[in-house]
Amino acid sequence: MMYSKDFEEFEPIDFLEFSKELYENLEELNSKPSAIKRTIVSRLYYASFLHVRTWLIIYGNYSSNGPLDHYKIPKMIIGNTPMMGIFEKELRDKLIILGKNRRVCDYDFEIPLTYGNKNKYYKYSLEDLIDYSDEIISSFNKFNET
């Protein structure tokens, strides 16, 4: 568990569960669909990123570098580090895909949220991104068991 006395109990997987709940209830919510979809994508990235970073801190003796972690963590997954060989390139690539989609959702409001193979920015469906986040978190949880 990750929490301090100053904050409520929180786990990065909570962002994944929240994103799934938003996605499943998209039609019933009264907010604009684009705001909900952007929130889903952003939280999926942070669920995965924070889970991996926490795993590396606990099991890989990683020391957080604040905002630089967004660039360092993907490299740590399969880079030339003591962790090399433990992780699959596919997991790193999925984290990078989530990160790129998150940046577009958070900063590029002029880009419409239309998903599918024809869209330069959104080649992956929300279902794909949910699956990627789920897979990353599940894979790192399996590493805990070994």
56-98 confidence digits (pLDDT tens):
888 887 899 899 999 888 887 765 444 545 567 888 889 999 9
H or E segment to which residue 80 belongs: none
Backbone φ and ψ for 5, nearest 5 degrees, come out as -65, -20
pTM of the model: 0.83
Burial class (CB in 10 A: 0-12, 13-18, 19+), 20: middle
> What is the residue extent of each domain of the chain?
13-145
